[in-house]
């Protein structure tokens, strides 16, 4: 399913992450998009985003979030969400993370919205 509103991008991200569907996750990003997979680290482009998201999937995450539209002008929007993530830590024990994301999403020519910039830990990370 395609994101038809800016907020749909976050909602679809959670559905794909929780289902472990890497192709569906990567499809939510523009080819040259930028992702912050951990605080202070940025990756750009489909291959790097795929690799980063695959690491999250290997931890068997369960994410919940509340998406919201912050601002929109034409084909650009800033969205954000409060999120919680439960997963298996690198030590094999349950781990929890939470945060507030900020993302720039862009409407494509076919009407879909995709991530251009994804900062899951917020702009101050």
CATH code for the domain in which residue 45 is found: 3.10.450.50
Could you tell me the pLDDT band of residue 124, with boundaries at 50, 70 and 90? confident
pLDDT confidence of residue 95: 85
Average pLDDT of 73-87?
Answer: 94
For the segment 53-76, what is each residue's pLDDT rounded down to a tens digit? 998 888 888 999 998 989 999 999
The C-alpha atoms of residue 90 and residue 105 are separated, in whole angstroms, by 31
pLDDT confidence of residue 48: 97
Structural contact between residues 117 and 106, judged by C-beta atoms closer than 8 angstroms: no
Residue 26 has pLDDT above 90, yes or no: yes
Q: Is the dihedral of CA 10, 16, 22, 28 positive or negative?
A: negative
Residue 125 lies in a domain: no
Residue 94 lies in a domain: yes
Q: Which domain holds residue 90?
A: 6-119
Residue 123 has pLDDT above 90, yes or no: no
The C-alpha atoms of residue 76 and residue 43 are separated, in whole angstroms, by 21
Residue 19 lies in a domain: yes
Average pLDDT of 21-31?
Answer: 97
The C-alpha atoms of residue 60 and residue 58 are separated, in whole angstroms, by 5
């Amino acid at each position: 399913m395609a994101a038809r509103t800016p907020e749909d991008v976050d909602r679809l991200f959670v559905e794909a992450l929780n289902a472990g569907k890497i192709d569906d996750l990567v499809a939510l990003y523009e080819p040259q998009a930028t992702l912050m997979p951990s605080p202070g680290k940025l990756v750009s482009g489909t291959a790097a985003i795929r690799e980063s998201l695959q690491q999250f999937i290997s931890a068997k995450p369960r994410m919940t979030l509340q998406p919201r539209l912050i601002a929109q002008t034409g084909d650009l929007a800033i969205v954000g969400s409060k999120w919680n993530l439960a997963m298996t830590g690198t030590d094999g024990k349950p781990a929890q993370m939470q945060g507030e994301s900020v993302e720039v999403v862009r409407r494509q020519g076919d009407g879909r919205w995709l991530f251009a910039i994804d900062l899951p830990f917020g702009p101050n990370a």
